[in-house]
Amino acid sequence: MRKSEIYSWRVLPEIKTALEWEARRQRTTVAGLLDRMAEEWLAARRASSTGDDREQAALHAAAATTLGSIAGGNPRRAENARIAVRKRLLKAHDRRRPH
Tens digits of residue pLDDT in 21-63: 999 999 999 999 999 999 999 998 887 766 677 888 888 888 8
Q: For residue 52, what pLDDT is reported?
A: 73
* Residue 96 pLDDT level (bands cut at 50, 70, 90): low
Residue 19 belongs to a domain = yes
20 domain-assigned: yes
User: Per the confidence metrics, is the pTM higher than 0.75?
Assistant: no
72 located within any domain? no
Decide if 35 is inside a domain. Answer: yes
Residue 15 lies in a domain: yes
Range of the domain at 30: 8-49
Average pLDDT, the chain: 85
Number of domains in the chain: 1
In-domain check, residue 90: no
HEC profile of 25-73: HCCCCHHHHHHHHHHHHHHHHHHHCHHHHHHHHHHHHHHHCCCCCCCCC
**Closest C-alpha among 41, 47, 16 to residue 31:** 16
Mean pLDDT within 55-75 = 78
- Confirm whether 44 is domain-assigned: yes
* Within a domain: 2: no
- CB neighbours of residue 41 within 10 Å: 10
